[in-house]
Amino acid sequence: MSGPFDLPLPVLTDAYKLTHYSLYPEASELSAYAEFRASFNKDEDDHRIVFHGIRYIIENYVSKRWTTDDLDKLRLFASTFNVGNTPYPFPLDLFEKFIAENDGYFPVKIEALPEGSVVYPHVPVLQIVAKDEYSSLVTFLETVLTMVWYPSTVATLSRKAKTIIKKYFDETVDPENFFLLNSRLHDFGFRGCTSLEQAIIGGTSHLLNFEGTDTLAAAYYAQFHLNNGKPVATSIPATEHSVMTSYPTEYEAIAKSLEVYGSGMVSIVMDSYDYANALFNILPSLAKIKTDKGGILVIRPDSGDQVDTVMMGLDATASIFGTTTNSKGYKVVNGCSIIQGDGVSLDSLYKILTSVKKAGYSIENIAFGMGGGLIQKVNRDTMSFATKLSMIVYKDGTKK
């Protein structure tokens, strides 16, 4: 059975893994484990890590049947892969043996913590065990199994964002509106991904914590491949700069958006020309149209200082549409909110939320979008993921 890009399954590993069969000592059993060795970006206050994504790896790369065709392709490739285009060593006999005797399934046992488990650094999240003649293959699958670092890191980042937002929700939002928390961070990262697969893996990791996403591929995958067809994610109609600048005037673009989608929720980007002018001059002239439609308008700034543009949006919409004061004494803008989706990070979340609260607004007035900051600006060192050999039983029965 071929892997992705019609690759033979044996090449889904680091090259040197092919040579380790002859380097390990003879043993009746070998075990390896994997762990995260640091908190997210070495956070000294919150060490929690969300372990997620092992199912995807097992289903798509590990629980696949190797075939003699895979070996034929590997043999051809390896014949010139060593230095000087000479043959590169690999355990042909072992591969042929488990294809014949194990129906092509790789001969190791993998145990892992349940998806979504919350762990701390140095807690083993998975274990690999290989026995008898296959003991020397114990770390062959390390390469693909290590890739669990990515969905786990995104899930952890998304969860940290939720923890931050929840703190301000608890302080400024009435309990009956706490359900809004799950829509406060929206995945804007699809176009910034290096591949569709990354968008699916990273996007579904975010959906462990929030329901908001514009990464349709991840939303579909989560609903129909992971959740038995039950909805997982949501989004709302929204404009982009190309829509706004296609009209002769910004007034017409906003009016059209309200006419078509104003009875529900609609997000309108407001900085195509002049953000302040759109807020303080154009939007007031459209207030009646918006109010008559009865829906919720979401203002989206997309440039400038994040705190300044959010506060300008809140103050402008508060003056146009008015506010009500909730039971905790914070202002809620009537039928309007802001989504900040440009350059958001965990640090800027703190700054924006602190400023919104200080100005007397409830945090339910603000939502966030993260793109590259959510599913791109992470790497294996963000939480220092590693896999190492942990135990060996030698042929004479001694253990190390």
Check residue 300 and report its DSSP letter: E
Say which CATH number the domain at 113 has: 3.20.140.10
**pTM here?**
0.96
Four-residue CA torsion sign, 367, 178, 116, 235: negative
Model pLDDT for residues 106-123, shown as the tens digit of each residue: 999 999 999 999 999 999
Residue 339 lies in a domain: yes
Same domain as 222, residue 75: no
The residue behind tokens 């010139």 is 80
Same domain as 103, residue 22: yes
Are the beta carbons of 49 and 152 closer than 8 angstroms? yes
Query: Could you tell me the maximum CA-CA distance found in the chain, to the nearest angstrom?
Result: 86
Same domain as 226, residue 162: yes
Model pLDDT for residues 122-134, shown as the tens digit of each residue: 999 999 999 999 9
Same domain as 300, residue 158: yes
Same domain as 283, residue 199: yes
Same domain as 298, residue 222: yes
Same domain as 24, residue 158: no
| DSSP annotation string for 362-378 | -GGGEEEEESHHHHTS-
Same domain as 332, residue 206: yes
The per-residue pLDDT string of the chain (400 residues; one tens digit each, 9 = 90 and over) reads 577 889 999 999 999 999 999 999 999 999 999 999 999 999 999 999 999 999 999 999 999 999 999 999 999 999 999 999 999 999 999 999 999 999 999 999 999 999 999 999 999 999 999 999 999 999 999 999 999 999 999 999 999 999 999 999 999 999 999 999 999 999 999 999 999 999 999 999 999 999 999 999 999 999 999 999 999 999 999 999 999 999 999 999 999 999 999 999 999 999 999 999 999 999 999 999 999 999 999 999 999 999 999 999 999 999 999 999 999 999 999 999 999 999 999 999 999 999 999 999 999 999 999 999 999 999 999 999 999 999 999 999 999 9
The domain of 266 spans 153-370
Same domain as 345, residue 257: yes
Same domain as 88, residue 208: no
The Cα–Cα gap between 6 and 79 comes to: 19
Number of domains in the chain: 2
CA distances from 31 to 108, 129, 131, 257, 390 (A): 10, 4, 9, 60, 6
318 phi and psi angles, rounded to 5 deg: -65, -40
Same domain as 302, residue 226: yes
Neighbours of 296 (CB within 10 A): 18
The Cα–Cα gap between 113 and 127 comes to: 9
Say which CATH number the domain at 248 has: 3.20.20.70
Q: Which residues pair with 393 in a beta bridge?
A: 29, 399
Same domain as 56, residue 169: no
